[in-house]
């Protein structure tokens, strides 16, 4: 398919869109361009802390979608993220921070501080086997046994706002307005178009946007990152007269599929990415090491799904370079909007009393929906898949496994898996001018997404639920405050305490510097492995045979975690891909059945009308003949 988009990716609903379609369906240059002259690694000086501290600071949570570990300039990226980098200079970067392998479980843990098997996201609708449906912890939406960050902040006198992707349930009792947010403009789905109110074709019938619990319409001149920040600024300004501090949860669609960016943002990268994903993966690894994010000389594996760039034909290389240019443009466009929000807070005198948290919900998206003929035929009917349109309006573009390996550099694996590339993402915590957070620091100790709620609670004085909330029993927060790490007083607040994780049979157990991990097919072979993820973050050396006692002890720790959290074993022969495929065809089958029923109803109504008209004419004819 010369000139067609064939090496990017999207979501294999396997015949409709693809894996991530269903699962995920979850500014100037600050660093070194691939073909530019080297730029000195940016220094991160520590500004003098301010002595003034309000009783309750504002809180801004900036959640990126599907950004890999090195997708930020301050973590090794070559594209421009100057505003996020500025937050890194003002705060602390966490280089050993972990989330879930897919969006909804991470989002649920982020806003509750409760593990996903206890907050309802033990699995998602697209990947849950029928045997698990309805079992405790497998609600596939955020349950009502947890308290959200919005509820905690509102109880402490905060104004609470939410904009962007929600994806934790779309009934009125589960939308943001019912879960603690005073104002919310939210997308209930896993993803949607970035230029218009359009769903991801083949996955949803419509793009379900809501404002304050009611169906909403996007403006005519819409681009997702700009609109999400516009709305948040409107909400913040609209409640300013109250004098209350605010919690602002800003949830971007970038860089979730479809990868789309304004033309000018794509154009700024048009000379880049021609050397391919392997060269980029290596360049990022060196950059991350130079910045102190990973150890110097960190070894890397080459993922089995990474094609040899040299064996691609000229058209494939052009299309692949173009989609990465769009990905970079989408990231820079999001960064620009973050800068606009920060500039607004500075202009209104709120910046220095605001805590900022930046993170991604999981690793980079690897799937390529154009890999199968059936998918290509479907997508070509619904989108302009020409080379010139990659990343623009009416496109469905994704970076695929090659570029995803670079986005996760130097880690192994990507989104969906329990490998570090799926679970380890950038985290920045900043409180400009305040001694509670070291400026320009890097923390290499283990940290987890459930730690965000207790960290903000300690910094801002928020009430934490510990088994009971407003007269009802709830799940207690299990995360630990990162404040000792932010102050430089501790390497990790978790010490040698085990922390488990599981999603769709892919599982991990973290303990100190070590990680026990298992990935089911097609990502892995179901075998447990052991790694030192501090010395070997790329997971290149399995230590199971060298450390049999630790290996056995951590397996016992995982079994204890699974029992305590109600983790269910996957049915024999289960794979996430097969379940996604079944879900996809069930979804499409229901749509076809509805359409067929509607068509049959229309035909039946037409026949009834014709028979009625014919009988009426006969009665009239008989009446005239008798007269």
Neighbouring residues of 138: CB distance < 8 A, sequence distance ≥ 6: 120, 122, 123, 128, 132, 568
User: What letter does residue 424 receive in the DSSP assignment?
Assistant: B
Contact in structure between 415 and 66 (CB atoms under 8 Å): yes
Give me 488's structure tokens: 């430089």
Q: How far apart are CA 391 and CA 319, in angstroms?
A: 10
User: Could you tell me if 453 and 403 are in contact, meaning their C-beta atoms sit under 8 angstroms apart?
Assistant: no
- The CA dihedral of 612, 614, 620, 624, to the nearest 10 degrees, is -170
Residue identified by tokens 């300013």 is 240
At 189, list the tokens.
Answer: 């789905």
Tokens of 358: 């930046």
Contacts of 365 (CB under 8 A, 6+ apart): 9, 11, 20, 24, 66, 255, 256, 257, 398, 399, 404, 414, 415
| Cα(342)–Cα(327) distance, integer angstroms | 23
DSSP-assigned states of every residue in 256-291: SSS----HHHHHTTTT--TT-HHHHHHHHHHHHHHH
Report the candidate in 415, 413, 410, 377 with the shortest Cα–Cα distance to residue 398: 415
| Phi (first) and psi of residue 18, to 5 degrees | 145, 175
Residue listed under structure tokens 């305590």:
564
Q: How many Å apart are CA 419 and CA 413, to the nearest integer?
A: 5
Listed in sequence order, the residues at least 6 apart from 456 whose beta carbon sits closer than 8 Å to its beta carbon are: 59, 149, 355, 357, 462
| 3-state secondary structure at position 427 | strand
Alpha-carbon distance of 450 to 4, in angstroms, equals 43
Residues forming the active site:
103, 167
Two tokens, residue 263: 């033309």
Buried b (16+ CB within 10 A) or exposed e, 589-610: eeeeeeeeeeeeeeeeeeeeee
Quick check: 427 and 106 in contact, CB under 8 A?
A: no
């Amino acid at each position: 398919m010369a000139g067609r988009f064939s090496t990017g990716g999207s979501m294999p609903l396997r015949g409709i869109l693809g894996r991530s379609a269903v699962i995920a369906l979850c500014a100037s240059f600050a660093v070194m361009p691939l073909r530019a002259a080297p730029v000195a690694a940016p220094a991160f000086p520590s500004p003098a802390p301010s002595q003034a501290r309000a009783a309750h600071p504002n809180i801004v949570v900036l959640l990126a979608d599907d950004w890999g570990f090195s997708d930020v300039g301050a973590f090794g990226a070559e594209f421009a993220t100057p505003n996020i980098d500025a937050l890194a200079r003002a705060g602390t970067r966490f280089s050993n921070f972990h989330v879930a392998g897919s969006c909804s479980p991470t989002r649920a843990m982020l806003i509750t501080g409760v593990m996903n098997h206890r907050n309802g996201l033990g699995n998602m609708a697209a990947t849950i086997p029928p045997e698990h449906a309805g079992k405790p912890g497998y609600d596939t939406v955020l349950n009502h046994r947890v308290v959200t960050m919005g509820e905690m902040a509102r109880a402490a006198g905060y104004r609470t706002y939410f904009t962007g992707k929600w994806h934790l349930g779309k009934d009125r009792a589960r939308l943001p307005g019912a879960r603690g947010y005073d104002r919310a403009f939210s997308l209930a789905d896993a993803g949607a178009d970035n230029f218009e109110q359009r769903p991801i074709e083949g996955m949803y019938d419509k793009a379900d946007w809501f404002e304050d619990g009611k169906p909403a319409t996007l403006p005519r001149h819409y681009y997702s990152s700009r609109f999400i920040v516009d709305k948040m600024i409107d909400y913040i300004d609209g409640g300013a007269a109250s004098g209350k501090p605010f919690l602002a949860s800003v949830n971007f669609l970038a860089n979730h599929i479809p990868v789309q960016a304004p033309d000018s943002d794509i154009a700024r990268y048009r000379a880049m990415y021609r050397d391919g994903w392997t060269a980029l993966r290596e360049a990022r690894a060196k950059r991350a090491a130079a910045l102190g994010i990973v150890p110097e000389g960190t070894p890397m594996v080459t993922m089995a799904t990474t094609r040899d760039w040299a064996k691609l034909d000229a058209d494939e290389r052009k299309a692949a370079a173009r989609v990465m240019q769009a990905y970079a443009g989408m990231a820079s466009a999001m960064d620009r909007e973050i800068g606009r929000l920060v500039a607004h807070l500075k202009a209104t005198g709120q910046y220095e009393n605001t805590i900022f948290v930046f993170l991604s919900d999981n690793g980079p998206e690897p799937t390529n929906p154009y890999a199968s003929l059936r998918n290509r035929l479907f997508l070509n009917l619904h989108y302009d898949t020409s080379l010139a349109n990659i990343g623009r309006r009416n496109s469905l573009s994704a970076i695929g496994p090659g570029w995803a390996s670079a986005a996760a550099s130097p880690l192994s694996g990507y989104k969906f898996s329990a490998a570090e590339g799926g679970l380890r993402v950038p985290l920045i915590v900043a409180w400009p001018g305040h001694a509670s957070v070291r400026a320009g620091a890097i923390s290499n100790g283990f940290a987890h997404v459930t730690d965000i709620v207790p960290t903000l609670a300690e910094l801002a004085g928020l009430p934490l639920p510990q088994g009971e909330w407003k007269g009802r029993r709830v799940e207690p927060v299990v995360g630990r405050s990162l404040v000792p790490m932010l102050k430089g007083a501790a390497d990790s607040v978790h010490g040698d305490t085990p922390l488990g994780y599981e999603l769709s049979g892919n599982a991990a157990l973290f303990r100190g510097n070590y990680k026990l991990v298992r990935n089911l097919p097609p990502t892995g072979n179901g075998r447990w492995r052991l790694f030192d993820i501090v010395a070997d973050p790329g997971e290149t050396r399995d230590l199971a045979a060298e450390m049999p006692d630790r290996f056995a002890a951590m397996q016992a720790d995982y079994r204890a975690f699974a029992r305590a959290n109600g983790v269910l074993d996957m049915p024999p022969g289960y794979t996430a891909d097969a379940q996604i495929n079944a879900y996809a065809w069930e979804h499409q089958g229901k749509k076809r059945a509805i359409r067929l029923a509607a068509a049959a109803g229309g035909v039946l109504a037409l026949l009834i009308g014709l028979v009625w008209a014919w009988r009426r004419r006969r009665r009239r004819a008989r009446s005239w003949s008798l007269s």
